[in-house]
């Protein structure tokens, strides 16, 4: 039975990448990996142009694993001693940027050589949790202080110059830019708020305002599709909520696990949403109507 399940998983994942899943029912979750491929700290994820998905804590803490289009998976890299990854973003189709919450770093990993370097380091950060990146390489990092139920937002350029953007927030977690990069979204896990800022010409956020407040369950990672809808993981509820740009919930996708931590868009057409599910140590996925902002960026960087 285990072998049959593995074969079915491989077939489904391969079908997603080759485009034969175009008729798959939308918004219905299916398994990409079996349970316990990743640890209970499964997070990330990010998808490279060749369709490989990367997520943190593969097999054991302090690693990054890969899942290929054919369904095979394995260890990509061990992070430096003392480092533990959380959110991952692809930069310029060549590098993975990783929020290293125990090392107070934004790490940079060359996909081809696997060389690991530190893009930015700041001991003042409590723990960089998730990151968003602009088409020009500006990196925004959420920085929750769980012990004090507070948080900050940082910004860094590609030379590692860091700037504190906002403090005095709640436990900031998911962070994302709108498709036109004129808005920055930041959620607070414990307070269950999603805030939206205008992004000024120099990349700094301004005019903070509430987009939506949830009445129950925590919030974790989130990503935008090309229409500006936010796909928000509802940790402990076991769903991904899709929130329209005006702040209304369009729908919620029910997952098999209870602790979704983050999402990424991929597949041949960019309309497959991959979800790291911590309690299962697995990747689930569902199909949506629109391409992800991150997928559109990979297409832009190819040109």
Predicted confidence (pLDDT) per residue in 171-223, tens digit: 999 999 999 999 999 999 999 999 999 999 999 999 999 999 999 999 999 99
Give me 57's structure tokens: 């804590």
Q: How many domains does the chain have?
A: 1
pLDDT of residue 23: 77
Residue 65 has pLDDT above 50, yes or no: yes
* List of residues 6+ apart from 269 with CB closer than 8 A: 19, 22, 291
Of all helices (H) and strands (E), which one includes residue 298? helix 293-302
pLDDT at 22: 67
C-beta of residue 68 within 8 angstroms of C-beta of residue 54 = no
**Residues in the chain, overall count:** 303
Q: Which of 280, 301, 269, 281 shows the shortest CA–CA distance to 22?
A: 269
Q: Judge whether residue 169 has pLDDT over 70.
A: yes
Q: Which range of residues forms the domain containing residue 147?
A: 2-302
The CA–CA distances, whole Å, from 260 to 19, 24, 64 equal: 25, 22, 18
Instruction: Please tell me the predicted confidence (pLDDT) of residue 303.
Output: 83
Residue 271: closest CA among 82, 40, 22, 52: 22
**What CATH number did the domain enclosing 298 receive?**
2.120.10.30
Q: Which residues are within 8 A (CB) of 95 and not within 5 positions of it... i.e. 6 or more apart?
A: 108, 109, 110, 111
Contact 171, 144 (CB under 8 A): yes
Res 20: pLDDT: 54
Span 73-104, pLDDT tens digits = 999 999 999 999 999 999 999 999 999 999 99
pTM (whole model) above 0.75: yes
164 vs 232: CA distance, rounded Å? 25
When the pLDDT of each residue in the chain is averaged and rounded to a whole number, the result is 94
What would the two tokens of residue 54 be? 């990367």
- What's the mean pLDDT in 276-281? 98
Q: Identify the weakest region by mean pLDDT among 21-35, 90-104, 143-157, 228-242.
A: 21-35
How would residue 69 be classed by pLDDT, with cut points 50, 70 and 90? confident
pLDDT band at 21 (very low <50, low <70, confident <90, very high): low
Tokens of 105: 């770093």
Torsion 187-242-234-270 (CA) sign: negative
**Closest CA relative to residue 127, chosen from 97, 106, 156:** 106
Other CB atoms within a 10 A radius of the CB of residue 62 amount to 22
Residue of 12, 111, 102 lying closest to 64 (CA atoms): 111
Q: Which of the two residues, 23 and 200, has the higher pLDDT score?
A: 200
Question: What are the pLDDT digits (tens) for 114-147?
Answer: 999 999 999 999 999 999 999 999 999 999 999 9
Quickly state the pLDDT bin for 24 (edges 50, 70, 90): confident
């Amino acid at each position: 039975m285990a072998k049959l399940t593995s074969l079915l998983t491989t077939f489904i994942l391969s079908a997603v990448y080759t485009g034969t899943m175009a008729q798959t029912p939308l918004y219905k979750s299916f398994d990409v990996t079996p349970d316990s491929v990743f640890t209970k700290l499964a997070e990330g994820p990010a998808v490279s142009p060749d369709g490989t998905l990367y997520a943190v804590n593969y097999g054991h803490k302090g690693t990054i694993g890969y899942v290929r289009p054919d369904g095979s998976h394995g260890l990509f890299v061990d992070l430096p001693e003392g480092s533990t990854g959380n959110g991952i973003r692809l930069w310029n189709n060549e590098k993975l940027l990783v929020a290293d919450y125990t090392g107070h770093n934004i790490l940079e990993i060359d996909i081809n050589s696997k060389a690991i370097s530190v893009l930015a380091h700041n001991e003042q950060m409590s723990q960089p949790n998730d990151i968003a990146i602009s088409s020009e390489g500006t990196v925004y990092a959420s920085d929750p202080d769980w012990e004090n139920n507070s948080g900050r937002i940082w910004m860094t350029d590609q030379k590692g110059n860091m700037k504190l953007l906002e403090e005095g927030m709640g436990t900031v977690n998911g962070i994302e830019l709108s498709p036109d990069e004129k808005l920055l979204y930041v959620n607070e896990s414990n307070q269950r708020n999603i805030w939206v800022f205008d992004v000024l010409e120099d990349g700094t956020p301004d005019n903070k305002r509430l987009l939506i407040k949830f009445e129950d369950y925590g919030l974790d990672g989130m990503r935008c599709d090309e229409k500006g809808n936010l796909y928000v993981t509802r940790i402990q509820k076991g769903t991904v909520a899709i929130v329209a740009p005006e702040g209304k919930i369009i729908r919620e996708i029910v997952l098999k696990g209870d602790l979704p931590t983050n999402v990424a868009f991929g597949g041949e057409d960019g309309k497959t949403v991959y979800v790291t599910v911590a309690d299962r140590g697995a990747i689930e996925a569902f199909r949506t109507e629109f391409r992800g902002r991150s997928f559109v960026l990979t297409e832009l960087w190819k040109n």
